[in-house]
């Protein structure tokens, strides 16, 4: 594994491995200034954060900390056993958001206020959880299978990382809260101590990063111990098998992600971190193979993961039902975390491909346009129009067929919030003598290459509405360096144009993978990547039974869907949704800003051109039927 | 609705409506003497009953009654909240079995011993449940959503019915236990009392039948109240919606069975009983339409019902995934109960068709050949070979991929046991001047027609191994009457031969539906129904997404399956099971007692003729992969 040079600067990154192929760039170095992601960041900052904090108060999950401080628990404690973690994910989101805005006094005050409430609930020895350990509550660590105590702390650690990397030296106290809790975890679960693991992985990834951020090697070691203990069967047997919490087989011997999809991805992310920071090539190689198998055989066309409602788990290979696809939003978030770590480790753009697919078609699907209601699960087939969601009512997690404002298990809203607030950190990387652009959004990048040279770029694009990505060098140090642009796997026929301020413009084919230009760049030099944005049919792997005889429609990185509201006014308005077939001999085409396909009623023969909707925008127009995979005529 | 004449004789029947098109015949009138069902009844009586009683003792579910009697509960109570009901289902099975054997002193003694333990646990006011109502337990009726108190009593009532109809006047006390409990139910939940329902329907069907058996109209009225209250929302909201326990919409306004599949069928059965005994044509008509929609759109090719693991529930129309098909064994049992009531009500043989399909492909699939291990759920697609079951270990309910000896929720073993023990009661019916044969097994029938005339028949057949069913009149009263034989819906090309002892033999086509002969029969007259038993491909409804591009193979009433153990020694031994395709241009054929189809590996092109297995016999040869729906070449 390539050892990257440690940087002395604190970068505003969620992930900073000590080795790997690529350096991550912080949100202080990359800014998204327009397009779909800027809009989403804006909505997230304007609406979603307020929305989340409102529900945390209203549901009493913040109040639990006050009751802990007042010594009145367990009386009046509200929420599930993991409700503390939503507060921490929210704090992480706010920490990123403050930094993204370059400071915000009002938000900073809110952040500090919540941190002080959390601080007041911490026990003298560092223990922090509102659900366990007090008289009248179950003892600490007495129910690692379901208690989520370590899981909650993992999210606390990630919040502290976000804070220390965006406001180093801030005196709010969050970092010290995390440090004291982490020290306690090492004391209780360290070598010679309690040898069990948490039933929901997350503490591993939190510990590694906190160790990186604070320069504390014990936390990495503790994370390593947790990772290695998975598969030892220290947790109790489970109705759905120990695979549910990845305690059936060691991480190293795992062949594909399995069991609960969020747990699996958090664990894989933590294991990748451990592998990177301990130089464990064997473990990293195993994780890469697990990723590849999982993506080939256990991942939806949307990037979604998890086939089962019952246990929120991966199915077997090729078990990818479209209806009741679980595809939990948080599985998408955690899948991005895992892929991002492998991308940093190896530099292979396949990982960035999956990140893009998941961002556009899972994470962006969850929140409504206003950012105040969410999908917990992201089905690919809605047979019956859902019930109108009530903006004022908490929902069971995955039952809602329309986006809901909040859930009894409400991990998804703050998980999307922290992802959007820190999204700029997932766009670009550097290595010793180059910069890699992985995701395309209008914005600016100002950073140093691995060798210390400063570069600044501006990106202009309407992607994914249009396929042109224009990268302008704003300033560059002397000497040659390499600028690399990801060519997505679907982008056969892409072209790259190099337009230097001095010299000839040159255009060449850019095959899927990476298009790189190495030269001594001058300010004003431009690279223009033209990605082919014609809509396309995607056919399923013949081993996926559930969607045999169907096609999906994609355009660029976006998956499209047929939604029944778009049948109104067509010759198919009265057709049974289950009888609609797509004529796959007629290419999908663009018409008036919509993507249109030819549909036919298999019974009446009636046909019509019908617009599709971006999957991530479905159910924004009220209850409707929807399907991503559409049966072809004759099927 | 036709009013059938009340019979004064006590018939050994599980169901005796006071109106309807057809009279049921009791197990004292119909005997199964050979073939698959006699073998199954024999195994059930020899092995399964002992097996069940052993586990009821071992798991302490019988002991709970002793603890109740001793006044030591709740200490040491074992099992789930509905464990009492397994004891009652077992008692029902034993009551039928004693009668089926024409008496059995050892079994009778065991029966009485358990009844006395149950009796000792009954409270002075008739209340009977080991889980509720004592100091240290939740109060009676405090958790109707999940408590299953009324559900348990419904099974108690059915056991008492079995007893009183097979041993009227027996002094064991079971009937009095049931009567006292039923009186309490009427007192607590009657007009002006508690207006809620039980979260698991069953008490309705139990109350009606107990009322019929004991001539107590209050029980019918109480059942009617419970049926009518469904849909009023008296139960608490539920994560999966009130549809889970059919409290979202009234039975009358329901359009298809929905929610938990066992609850739905028990409720529909009870509602049919209420409709029949109160002359409620509107309700009965609604139930018929619900049945038709459910069978068309929400029923597997096996007759199995219930698509979801999470809530053991029906899916939406056409949502019938083959893998993780839930198809709970008890949903099969309760579906037979519902269809049987509609058959008695209307005489339409469609209901008998579904009963046959469900008996052969769901209920017969659950127990192993030895009758000591069971499927709880009956998947139609096993992607990965299951783990070897441990004959000594209790299993979570639906997790086992091989049959398991017992479950934490162990309704299925005693539910199959009571069905097999009473199976003879589901074979034939009479009406005013005729007898109808619905299911074909070697045996004898000796009964009176509705007009009181005695008839006796003998049936000889190897069905479903062979398609000839020979019905011989053993004795017949004077005057013409009608003998009707069901021609299954798949049996296009059937022929019926009438071979009277005096007169010409005549053969005619017998279209699917009913083949009837009306004449003055003489002893020795024979009817021979020839059912075409060539194996056939069955293609799915084009609206069922999950099995598009697949065929199933059926022969007679039996569904067949491809099992990976049958690939050993063929050119496809090393193929990936997911890559196998069936050549549907080559008809399945019989070869050496097996049914053989042409398969091809879609990648290698390798092909072989491979035998299929009867679905109900799958997984009898150790762990294997299995599929009922096989993709066709090119799909």
ipTM of the modeled complex: 0.93
**Contact list, B309 vs chain A (CB under 8 Å):** 308-310
Q: Distances from the Cα of A122 to the Cαs of A76, A89, A158, in angstroms?
A: 18, 17, 17
Same structural domain, A439 and A546:
no
**Which chain B residues have any C-beta within 8 angstroms of a chain A C-beta?**
239-241, 308-310, 315-319, 321-324, 381, 383-384, 396, 399, 408, 542-543, 545-550, 576, 578-579, 602, 629, 631, 635
Residue A4, in any domain of the structure: no
pLDDT of residue A606: 98
Which residue does chain B place closest to A387, by CA atoms? B241
Cβ-based contacts of B545 with chain A (< 8 Å): 322-323, 381, 546-547, 550, 629, 631
B309: in domain: yes
Chain A CB contacts of B316 under 8 Å are: 323, 383-384
Tell me: do B609 and B485 sit in the same domain: no
Interface contact flag, B635 A549, Cβ < 8 Å: yes
Contacts of B241 in chain A (CB under 8 A): 399
CATH number at residue B506: 2.60.40
Please tell me which of the candidates B240, B576, B635 has its beta carbon nearest to residue A399. Answer: B240
Of B309, B316, B549, which is closest to A383 when you measure between CB atoms? B316
Identify whether B305 is part of a domain. Answer: yes
Task: Let me know whether A209 and A140 are in one domain.
Answer: yes
Which of B530, B551, B586 is a domain's end point?
B530
CA distance A284 to chain B (A): 27
Q: What is the pLDDT of residue B394?
A: 81
Residue A237: list chain B partners with CB under 8 A.
none
CB within 8 Å: A316 and B383:
yes
Contacts of A333 (CB under 8 A, 6+ apart): A363, A415, A416, A419
Confidence of residue B240 (pLDDT cuts 50, 70, 90): confident
Instruction: Read off the pLDDT of residues A263-275 as tens digits, 9 standing for 90 and up.
Output: 999 999 999 999 9
What are φ and ψ of residue A272, in 5° steps? Answer: -65, -40
Distance of CA A624 to the CA centre of its chain: 27
- Confidence (pLDDT) at B7: 45
pLDDT over 90 for what percent of chain B?
Answer: 93
Find the distance separating the first CA and the last CA of chain B, reported in whole Å. Answer: 49
Region A177-193: mean pLDDT is: 98
CB atoms within 10 A of CB A609: 17
Residues A520 and A542 in one domain: no
For A101, A537, A550, the CA distances from A630, given in Å and listed in that order, are 42, 10, 5
Q: Examine the domain organization and report whether B101 and B167 are in the same domain.
A: yes
Q: Is the pLDDT of residue A343 over 50?
A: yes
CB contact under 8 A, B318 and A578: yes
pLDDT value, residue A6: 42
Closest Cα in chain B to A319 = B323
The pLDDT confidence band at residue B396, using thresholds 50, 70 and 90, is: confident
A274: nearest Cα among A530, A606, A18, A554: A18
Checking if the pLDDT of B3 tops 70, the result is no
What whole-number distance in Å separates Cα of residue B259 and Cα of residue B230? 13
Does residue A478 register a pLDDT over 80?
A: yes
Residue of B nearest to A309 (CA): B310
Rounded-to-integer distance, Cα B469 and Cα B495, Å: 11
**For residue A523, what pLDDT is reported?**
96
Side-chain-side CA neighbours of residue B622 (13 Å): 3
Number of helices (H) and strands (E) in chain A: give both, helices first.
Answer: 14, 22
CB within 8 Å: B545 and A239: no
CB contact under 8 A, B324 and A309: no
Last residue of a domain, one of B484, B510, B530: B530
| Closest approach of B591 to chain A, Cα-based (Å) | 29
Which residues make beta-bridge pairs with A381? Answer: A323, A627
pLDDT in tens, B60-73: 999 999 999 999 99
Examine residue B202 and state whether it is found in any structural domain, yes or no: yes
What is the 8-class DSSP label of residue A249? S
Of A329, A327, A393, A326, nearest to A366 (Cα)?
A329
Predicted local confidence at residue A1, as pLDDT:
44
Q: Kindly state whether residues B546 and B593 are assigned to the same domain.
A: yes
The number of residues making up chain A comes to 635
Tell me: the pLDDT tens digits for B481-513? Answer: 999 999 999 999 999 999 999 999 999 999 999
* Among the partner residues B308, B316, B543, nearest to A579 by beta-carbon distance: B543
Residue written as token pair 């009248």 = A136
Q: Which residues of A touch B (CB under 8 A)?
A: 239-241, 308-310, 315-319, 321-324, 381, 383-384, 396-397, 399, 408, 542-543, 545-550, 576, 578-579, 602, 629, 631, 635
Q: Measured between beta carbons, which residues in chain A are less than 8 angstroms from residue B383?
A: 316-319
Of residues A313, A341, A188, the one with CA closest to residue A257: A313
pLDDT for res A395: 81
Decide if pLDDT at B456 tops 90: yes
Q: Are both B196 and B71 inside the same structural domain? A: yes
**Which neighbouring-strand residues pair with B457?**
B445, B473
Q: Please give the pLDDT value at position B270.
A: 98
Closest B-chain CA to A312: B310
Cβ-defined contact of A240 to B319 (cutoff 8 Å): no
At B393 the pLDDT is 81
For the segment A182-199, the average pLDDT, to the nearest whole number, is: 98
Which chain A residue has its CA at the smallest distance from B311's CA?
A: A310
Number of Cβ within a 10 Å radius of residue B46:
12
Whether pLDDT at B14 is above 70: yes
How far is Cα B259 from Cα A399, in angstroms, rounded to an integer? 13
Does residue A490 sit in the same domain as residue A555? no
Q: Do A602 and B381 touch (CB under 8 A)?
A: no
Query: In which band, very low, low, confident or very high, does the pLDDT at A3 lie, cut at 50, 70 and 90?
Result: very low
Kindly give, in sequence order, each residue whose CB lies less than 8 Å from that of residue A626, ignoring residues fewer than 6 positions away: A379, A381, A382, A561, A562, A563, A564, A618, A619
> What mean pLDDT is reported for chain A?
96
Q: Is residue A6 part of a domain?
A: no
Strands B558-563 and B626-627 turn out to be antiparallel
Shortest distance, CA B24 to any CA of chain A (angstroms): 40
Domain match, A584 and A453 both: no
Name the residue range of residue A374's domain.
23-381+399-426
B352 pLDDT above the threshold of 70: yes
Give the CA angle between residues A62, A63, A66 to the nearest 5°: 110
**Residue from A544, A548, A551 whose CB has the most chain B CBs within 10 Å, to mutate:** A548
pLDDT level of residue A398 (50, 70, 90 thresholds): low
User: Taking CB atoms and an 8 Å limit, are B545 and A546 in contact across chains?
Assistant: yes
Instruction: Please state, in angstroms and rounded to a whole number, the distance separating the CA atoms of residues A334 and A202.
Output: 10
For A349, list phi and psi in degrees, rounded to 5. -75, -10
Asked if residue A17 is part of any domain, the answer here is no
Residues of A with Cβ-Cβ distance to B296 under 8 angstroms: none
Q: What percent of chain A is helix, strand and coil (3-state, nearest 5)? A: 35, 20, 45
CA gap A434, B488 in Å, rounded: 74
Q: What is the pLDDT of residue B584?
A: 97
Q: Average of pLDDT values for A202-221?
A: 98
- Which residues in A lie closer than 8 A to residue B322 (C-beta atoms)? 545
Is the same domain home to A413 and A438?
no
**What is the reported pLDDT for A239?**
84
* A308, A321, A399 member nearest B241 (Cβ): A399
Please state, in angstroms and rounded to a whole number, the distance separating the CA atoms of residues B551 and B539.
5
CA distance A614 to chain B (A): 22
- Under a CB-based contact definition with an 8 Å cutoff, are residues B26 and B421 in contact? no
B9 domain residue, yes or no: no
Interface test mutation site (partner B, options A545, A551, A623, A627, max chain B beta carbons within 10 A): A545
Q: For A543, which of B545, B550, B579 is closest by C-beta distance? A: B579
A503 and A542 housed in the same domain: no
pLDDT value of position B549: 97
CATH of the domain at B351: 1.50.10
Omega of the bond leading into B227 within 30 degrees of 0 (cis): no
Pairs across A and B, CB distance < 8 A: 98
Q: In this structure, are A525 and A543 located in the same domain?
A: no
Please answer whether residues B548 and B523 qualify as being in contact, where contact means their C-beta atoms are separated by less than 8 angstroms: no
Closest CA to B435 of B28, B23, B15: B23
Q: Check CB contact under 8 Å for A550 and B548.
A: yes
For an interface test with A, the pick among B293, B545, B562 (most A C-beta atoms closer than 10 Å) comes out as B545
Asked, for residue A589, whether it belongs to a domain, the answer is yes
Mean pLDDT over B370-377 rounds to 96
Percentage above 90 pLDDT, chain A: 93
Contact B317 A578 (CB under 8 A): yes
Domain count for chain B? 3
A199 or B393, which is more confident: A199
At B507, which helix (H) or strand (E)? strand B506-509
Are B635 and A241 inside 8 Å of each other by CB?
Answer: no
Q: Which residue has the higher pLDDT, A244 or A400?
A: A244
Which residue among B383, B408, B602 sits closest to A542, beta carbon to beta carbon?
A: B602
């Amino acid at each position: 594994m390539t050892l990257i040079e440690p940087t002395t600067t604190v970068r505003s990154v969620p992930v900073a491995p000590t080795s790997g192929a690529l350096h991550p760039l912080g949100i202080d170095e990359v800014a998204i200034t327009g397009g779909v992601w800027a809009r989403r960041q804006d909505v997230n900052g304007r609406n979603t954060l307020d929305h989340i904090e409102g529900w945390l108060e209203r549901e009493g999950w913040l109040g639990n900390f006050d009751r802990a401080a007042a010594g009145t628990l367990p009386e009046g404690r509200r929420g599930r056993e993991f409700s503390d973690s939503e507060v921490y994910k929210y704090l992480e989101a706010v920490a990123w958001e403050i930094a993204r805005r370059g400071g915000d006094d009002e938000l900073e005050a809110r952040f500090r206020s919540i941190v002080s409430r959390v601080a007041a609930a911490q026990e003298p020895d560092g223990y922090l959880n509102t659900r366990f350990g007090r008289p009248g509550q179950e003892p600490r660590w007495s129910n690692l299978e379901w208690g989520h105590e370590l899981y909650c702390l993992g999210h606390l650690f990630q919040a502290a990382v976000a804070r220390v990397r965006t406001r180093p030296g801030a005196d709010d106290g969050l970092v010290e809260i995390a440090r004291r809790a982490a020290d306690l975890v090492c004391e209780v679960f360290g070598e010679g101590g309690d040898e069990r693991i948490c039933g929901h992985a997350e503490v591993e990834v939190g510990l590694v990063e906190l160790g990186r951020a604070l320069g504390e090697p014990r936390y990495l070691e503790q994370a390593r111990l947790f990772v290695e203990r998975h598969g030892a069967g220290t947790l109790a047997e489970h109705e759905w098998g120990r695979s549910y919490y990845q305690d059936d087989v060691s991480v190293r011997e795992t062949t594909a992600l399995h069991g609960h999809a969020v747990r699996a991805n958090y664990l894989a992310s933590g294991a990748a971190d451990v592998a990177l920071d301990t130089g464990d090539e064997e473990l990293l190689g195993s994780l890469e193979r697990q990723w590849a198998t999982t993506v080939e055989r256990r991942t939806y066309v949307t990037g979604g993961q998890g086939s089962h409602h019952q246990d929120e788990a991966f199915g077997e290979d090729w078990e990818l039902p479209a209806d009741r696809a679980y595809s939990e939003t948080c599985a998408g978030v955690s899948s991005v975390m895992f892929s991002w770590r492998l991308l940093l480790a190896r530099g292979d753009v396949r990982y960035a491909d999956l990140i893009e697919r998941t961002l556009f078609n899972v994470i962006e699907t969850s929140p409504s346009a206003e950012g105040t209601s969410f999908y917990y699960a992201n089905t690919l087939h809605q047979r019956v129009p859902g019930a109108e969601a009530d903006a004022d009512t908490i929902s069971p997690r995955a039952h809602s067929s329309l986006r809901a404002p909040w859930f009894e298990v409400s991990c998804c809203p703050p998980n999307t919030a922290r992802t959007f607030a820190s999204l700029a950190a997932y766009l670009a990387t550097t290595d010793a003598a180059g910069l890699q652009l992985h995701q395309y959004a209008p914005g600016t990048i100002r950073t140093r290459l691995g060798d210390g040279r400063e570069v600044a770029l501006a990106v202009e694009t309407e992607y994914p509405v249009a396929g042109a990505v224009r990268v302008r060098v704003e300033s560059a140090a002397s000497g040659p360096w390499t600028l690399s642009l990801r060519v997505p796997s679907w982008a056969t026929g892409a072209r790259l144009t190099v337009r230097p301020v001095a010299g000839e413009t040159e255009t060449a084919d850019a095959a899927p993978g990476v298009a790189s230009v190495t030269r001594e760049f001058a300010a004003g030099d431009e690279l223009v990547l033209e990605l082919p944005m014609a809509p396309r049919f995607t056919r399923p792997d013949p081993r996926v039974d559930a969607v045999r005889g169907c096609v999906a429609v994609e355009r660029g990185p976006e998956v499209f869907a047929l939604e029944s509201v778009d049948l109104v006014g067509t010759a198919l308005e009265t057709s049974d949704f289950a009888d609609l077939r797509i004529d796959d001999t007629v290419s999908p085409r663009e018409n008036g800003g919509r993507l249109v396909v030819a549909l036919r009623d298999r019974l009446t023969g009636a046909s019509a051109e019908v617009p599709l909707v971006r999957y991530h925008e479905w159910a924004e127009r009220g209850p409707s039927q929807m399907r991503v995979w559409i049966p072809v005529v004759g099927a």
